[in-house]
Structure formats: structure tokens, C-alpha cells
């Protein structure tokens, strides 16, 4: 059996497309949730301190446990299609990592920026939206992109719960043949596509860093 028949190739590429879809959705939601967690942990004071404690507990819980654990937890406890389950599991885990990245960026913004915003009559949310967060994200883009590559690579864990993503589809094709040479060809193809996607992200980060240095 020819593993790279048109039908098999289309099957594998559909899996690759699903990997990209799940990764993009998980990254977007993780950045949103992570930003909220970082802001709550960093700035909730006084009577709202309990929210900061909850955010801190969430971040530590997910950062100190493996991603695969939460993939299995969501798989067994949530009813939904494979994309929903996958995105939810990765968002739960990755948002904790994103929160610490964002918080590091917030800490790198000089306090004078906050004072300048207040002197202009900006409230907290207006200061964050117009002044602090734009500077924060410019500083943390390399770290965010680094985490993006981690999400893409870790999406291969989803093959363990039979989500028809890139690795799972590749395994199905490899199981259809007993020829070692054809199995190795599929492995090589998987390697090349994963490498091409993540290396492209790395190149984007390097290009951005060069622009920062030149600015």
C-alpha cells in the first residue's frame, strides 16, 4: 500500500489543519485568560485581595502539573466535540503560563508610565488599555511566540485521546503498512511539517527582535 496516495495525503493534511486550528484557538484564548489572570494577581488589593489569591492559586496549580493530566481530565469530564475539548484543555493549562509571561511584562513597564497616565486623568482600565498593556505586549512578544511553539508541539498529546489531529492521522497511516521504509517516510513527513511550522514562528520572533534592536 502506498502511504502517500492522494487519499492518505489529504487525510494527513486535514489532521495538520486541525492541529493549526486547535493551536491558534488555544493560544488566542490563553492570551486573553492569561492577561486577565495577570492583571488580577498583580493589581487586586484590599477587599479584592481574595481574587488575587485565587488567580495565584490557579496559576500555580496549572504550572505545577502536566498538560497531559488536564487533557485527560477535560476528555473524561466535558461533553463536546474534539476541537472544543482540545481547546478547553490547552486553554486551562496554557493560560497559567501566559499569565506569568504577561505579569513579567507588566513588571518591566516603568512606574513612571503609571504616574504619567494618572496625571492625565486616566482611570485604571483606560491606563491599561491605552498605555500599559501595549508596552507590555511589545516586550513579551518573543516569550509569547516561544509558548506558541510549545502549544503546537504539545498538541501531539491529543493523539492519545483520539483527536484527529496531525499526529493521530499520521499514526493511522503508519498503522496501515508493515513496510519500514514507508513508516519512516511518514515519520519524515511529520518531522518536516512540525519543523517548518515551528521554525517559521522562530523566524518571525527573530525578525521582530531585530526590529526592536534597530528601533
Provide the CATH number for the domain around residue 202.
1.10.3720.10
The number of distinct structural domains making up the chain is 1
Percent of the chain having pLDDT more than 90? 55
Give 45-87 pLDDT, tens digit per residue. Answer: 777 889 999 999 999 999 999 999 999 999 999 988 899 999 9
Average pLDDT, the chain: 89
Q: Give residue 211's pLDDT.
A: 75
Arithmetic mean of pLDDT, 123-135: 84
Tell me the pLDDT tens digit for each residue of 172-189: 998 888 888 888 999 999
- The pTM for the full model equals 0.89
Q: Is residue 1 part of a domain?
A: no
Distance CA 91, CA 122 (A): 32
Quote the pLDDT of residue 16.
Answer: 94
Query: pLDDT value at position 108?
Result: 86
Q: Which domain holds residue 61?
A: 6-214
1 has a pLDDT exceeding 60: no
Question: Is residue 174 included in any domain, yes or no?
Answer: yes
- For residue 159, being part of any structural domain is answered with yes
Q: Select from 22, 46, 54, 45 the least CA-distant residue to 154.
A: 22
Lowest-confidence segment of 27-36, 94-103, 114-123, 155-164 by average pLDDT: 114-123
Amino acid at each position: 500500500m502506498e502511504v502517500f496516495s492522494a487519499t492518505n495525503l489529504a487525510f494527513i493534511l486535514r489532521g495538520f489543519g486541525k492541529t493549526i486550528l486547535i493551536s491558534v484557538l488555544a493560544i488566542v484564548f490563553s492570551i486573553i485568560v492569561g492577561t486577565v489572570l495577570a492583571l488580577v494577581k498583580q493589581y487586586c488589593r484590599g477587599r479584592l485581595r481574595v481574587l488575587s489569591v485565587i488567580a495565584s492559586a490557579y496559576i500555580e496549580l496549572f504550572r505545577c502539573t502536566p498538560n497531559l493530566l488536564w487533557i485527560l481530565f477535560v476528555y473524561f469530564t466535558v461533553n463536546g466535540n474534539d476541537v472544543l475539548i482540545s481547546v478547553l484543555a490547552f486553554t486551562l493549562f496554557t493560560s497559567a503560563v501566559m499569565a506569568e509571561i504577561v505579569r513579567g511584562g507588566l513588571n518591566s513597564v516603568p512606574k513612571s508610565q503609571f504616574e504619567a497616565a494618572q496625571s492625565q486623568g486616566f482611570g485604571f482600565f483606560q491606563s491599561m488599555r491605552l498605555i500599559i498593556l501595549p508596552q507590555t505586549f511589545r516586550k513579551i512578544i518573543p516569550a509569547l511566540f516561544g509558548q506558541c511553539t510549545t502549544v503546537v508541539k504539545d498538541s501531539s498529546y491529543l493523539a492519545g485521546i483520539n483527536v484527529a489531529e496531525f499526529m493521530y492521522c499520521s499514526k493511522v497511516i503508519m498503522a496501515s503498512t508493515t513496510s519500514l521504509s514507508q513508516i519512516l517516510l511518514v515519520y519524515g513527513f511529520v518531522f518536516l511539517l512540525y519543523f517548518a511550522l515551528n521554525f517559521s514562528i522562530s523566524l518571525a520572533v527573530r525578525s521582530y527582535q531585530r526590529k526592536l534592536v534597530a528601533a
